[in-house]
């Protein structure tokens, strides 16, 4: 009876997982197929188009009515700099909180935890006013600063948990040999933390890559837009609305993220699970 009950539970678990997988896979395949559909309408009586075309992909970079290549470069630049500065800031904050005991440490951890509970868009008005006061509106530097400063709020506990799993004896041995805190951090902790740093780098890069709300608020001129803002304009502007081209743009946005995840999947999973094992 136990084996029968276990088999039934496994069967329904697999059915549920299959349904969830299809619910995620179907819209992805639909967008991919639609990007090769002729015309500008995304609706079609058949799932697969009778005639396949790649004109939408070439039009994104050749049509003079929009500057998709420029938007792509803007997003890539913002994502790379945010990844570098955000990962560095988060790693340093997490290392300090993991290895040092000082007055206000628990209060700092509690503050980060509380701030992480609130959605980011609650601070949009304050961010807008600060950027306005410093004359940073309509600049990519503004987005890089905001994204980088927000990274420690969201990821410090994960990175700190990973540092907590590294034995302190390694640092103590290095300190006995005369190594400074900076040397220990750079030559011992960083090499041992490659999985969590890979996870941090990827997640910190993905945030700016797909973000729309803050980019739409800060960036005003068309040439400064990111891909998310440009595609939104492409799909909502009644004069240039082209949903199949919008689908092609979505595929190009998802492609580099997908490739990065596939190549670094082992490090991402290892970093996430190890960082979550201790608080």
Q: Taking residues 131-136, report their average pLDDT.
A: 92
pLDDT digits (tens, 9 = 90+) for 9-45: 888 888 899 999 888 888 888 888 888 888 766 667 7
pLDDT digits (tens, 9 = 90+) for 179-195: 888 888 888 888 888 88
Nearest Cα residue to 158 out of 33, 26, 273, 237: 273
| Residues 246, 252, 258, 259, Cα dihedral to 10° | 170
CA distance 81 to 87: 10
CA distance 47 to 28: 13
pLDDT digits (tens, 9 = 90+) for 265-278: 776 666 555 544 44
Longest Cα separation, the chain: 73
Find out whether 252 and 234 touch, Cβ atoms under 8 Å. no
Q: Taking residues 161-189, report their average pLDDT.
A: 84
Query: If pLDDT is split at 50, 70 and 90, which confidence band does 226 have?
Result: very high
Higher pLDDT: 7 or 62? It is 62
- Domains (range + CATH), the chain: 2-56 (no CATH), 66-275 (1.10.3720.10)
> Which token pair is 241?
């609305």
CA distance 196 to 130: 32
CA distance 83 to 78: 8
Find out whether 229 and 212 touch, Cβ atoms under 8 Å. yes
CA distance 135 to 123: 18
pLDDT at 133: 93
pLDDT digits (tens, 9 = 90+) for 203-223: 889 888 989 989 999 998 988
Is 143 exposed, middle or buried, given 0-12, 13-18 or 19+ CB atoms closer than 10 A? buried
pLDDT at 86: 92
Find out whether 253 and 227 touch, Cβ atoms under 8 Å. yes
- For the question of whether the overall pTM of this predicted structure is more than 0.95, the answer is no
Query: If pLDDT is split at 50, 70 and 90, which confidence band does 114 have?
Result: confident
């Amino acid at each position: 009876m136990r084996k029968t009950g276990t088999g039934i539970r496994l069967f329904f678990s697999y059915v549920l997982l299959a349904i969830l997988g299809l619910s995620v896979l179907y819209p992805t395949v639909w967008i991919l197929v639609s990007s090769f559909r002729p015309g500008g309408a995304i609706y079609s009586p058949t799932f697969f188009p009778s005639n396949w075309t790649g004109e939408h992909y070439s039009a994104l970079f050749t049509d003079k009515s929009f500057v998709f290549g420029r938007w792509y470069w803007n997003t890539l630049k913002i994502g790379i700099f945010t990844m570098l500065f955000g990962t560095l800031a988060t790693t340093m904050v997490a290392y300090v909180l993991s290895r040092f005991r000082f007055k206000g440490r628990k209060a700092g951890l509690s503050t980060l935890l509380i701030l992480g509970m609130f959605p980011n868009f609650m601070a949009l008005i304050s961010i807008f006013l600060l950027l306005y006061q410093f004359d940073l509106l309509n600049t990519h530097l503004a987005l890089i600063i905001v994204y980088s400063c927000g990274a420690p709020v969201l990821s410090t506990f994960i990175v700190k948990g990973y540092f907590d799993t590294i034995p302190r004896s390694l640092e103590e041995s290095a300190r006995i040999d005369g190594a400074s805190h900076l040397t220990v951090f750079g030559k011992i902790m960083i090499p041992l933390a490659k999985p969590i740093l890979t996870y941090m780098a990827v997640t910190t890069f993905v945030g700016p890559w797909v973000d729309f709300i803050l980019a739409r608020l800060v960036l005003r001129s068309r040439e400064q837009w990111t891909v998310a803002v440009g595609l939104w304009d492409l799909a909502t502007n009644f004069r240039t609305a082209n949903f199949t081209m919008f689908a092609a743009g979505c595929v190009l946005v998802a492609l580099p993220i997908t490739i990065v995840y596939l190549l670094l999947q082992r490090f991402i999973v290892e970093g996430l699970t190890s960082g979550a094992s201790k608080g």
